[in-house]
Amino acid sequence: MSSGCWRTFPRQSSTRRTCRGCARASSICWISLRRRKASYRRLFGAVSGNAIRWPPSPTRTSRCTAARASEARAGATPEFLKGHNPRATIPSNRSTGGPRCARAAGEGNTPVSARSECIIVTGSAGLIGSEAAEYFSLAGWRVVGIDNNMRADFFGARGDTTWNLRRLTENAPTYEHQAVDIRDRQAVLDLVAAVKPNAVIHAAAQPSHDLAAQRPFDDFDVNAVGTLNLLEATRRHAPESPFVFLSTNKVYGDAPNQLRLVERETRWEYGDEADYHGIDESCATDQVLHSLFGASKLAADVLVQEYGRYFGLPTACLRGGCLTGPNHSGVELHGFLSYLVKTAIEGRKYTVFGYKGKQVRDQIYSGDVVRACEAFIRAPSSGAVYNMGGGRENSASILECFARITELLGCEVAHDYTDENRTGDHICYISDTRRFRADYPSWSITKSLDDMIVEIAEAYRAA
């Protein structure tokens, strides 16, 4: 018996079948793949190469599994980092009027062709959801958005996304809103059955570390059970439609903290040249401290992979770093850069939690994330996993973000400091996106950190 047979029955059954040709068991069949490839061609038009790419087996040894203690060697800069400007390779769009999100009539990658196709976007009033809804609507898709504004319940008035929903209904001509709670299994099943979408982008979530500990049932029900409801509804009613899940780098827990780190003047940095590009998809996800939020998102992440690998659905997990943009309702518990910029503009104090304010994050613009979703929808695979972030070029510590905000906006950032870091927080996290870039070479980062800061500030001041 083998799981590697490529000649077995198509995946109409939820059980593994035996191949007539070789009497080996498998859930994968080239006949099924050819049929699905033809289906994707009809949906998206011809694409170069093989539109169905199965992810490689995880054979690499994880660098994160070894328990390597961090080294606090002040001022000790690794040779491979000397003279490196982490943001030098992304040109600023501020003076050139660069694309906000490669709109349907804009620059960047060729957008999804205008067709009478339909996409479901969950969390459609949130950061990524609203960006995706507007993007696909302007490209001619019918967009069915699912959002019940649970952020207002989670985070209060500052987390309320009603303003973003109003903006979306004005700017997205084909948008249809459904105030559905993804925890409501029957409502989700009924909606997907009625819509029968050609693609799904699942961006709805409870996104806060701290809140998850206070409301663990809500956290798990939204993040894990809600994802299961959507997956099963898609399997029953739209099994060939690409399903993109906005996962998180918190699925790795504190494993990235086990890498050897060095302390520099304004940031923590990787101490080994092998880690220069950051954390890749082979990083450990078990036997580490996650936070309850990280655990619930990991459960959802594994479910999405399993529906791809077991049932053969075209699924992808995009494990995001710090996602940001002007549509973000950032609060202290979630939405670092958006919240920091708004706090600076209002003259309020920002609280730094541990690590001397030198903890590093890589920021990625919401429009770039949506274009990554589009790239996968155009050429999907089953059970794909990708890290998605701004990479080294858009990485910065909290202290470095303070400095950039002061220079760009003329705002001094008042702040308090507490030695206690957040549970499961990363000391230095940079997303290694080379796997995604290899599979989708036309995708690239379009916004620098400076661009994002200025755009968030301009949108907030104009509101």
pLDDT digit string, tens, across residues 307-351: 999 999 999 999 999 999 998 777 776 678 999 999 999 999 999
SS3 label, residue 279: strand
Taking alpha carbons only, the member of 232, 293, 267, 234 closest to residue 423 is 293
Q: How far is residue 21's CA from residue 11's CA, in Å, rounded to a whole number?
A: 16
Tally of CB atoms within 10 A around 320: 22
**Which position has the token pair 């509804």?**
233
The neighbouring-strand residues paired with 122 are 146, 202
CA angle 51, 54, 58 (to 5 degrees): 150
CA angle 32, 33, 38 (to 5 degrees): 100
pLDDT digit string, tens, across residues 227-274: 999 999 999 999 999 999 999 999 999 999 999 999 999 999 999 999
What confidence category does residue 78 fall into, taking pLDDT thresholds of 50, 70 and 90?
A: low
**What confidence score (pLDDT) does residue 203 get?**
98
Maximal CA-CA distance, the chain: 71
The neighbouring-strand residues paired with 18 are 25
- Name the pTM for this structure: 0.79
- Compare 114 and 298 and report the one with higher pLDDT: 298
Quick check: 255 and 64 in contact, CB under 8 A? yes
User: Domains (ranges, CATH) in the chain?
Assistant: 1-52 (no CATH), 71-462 (3.40.50.720)
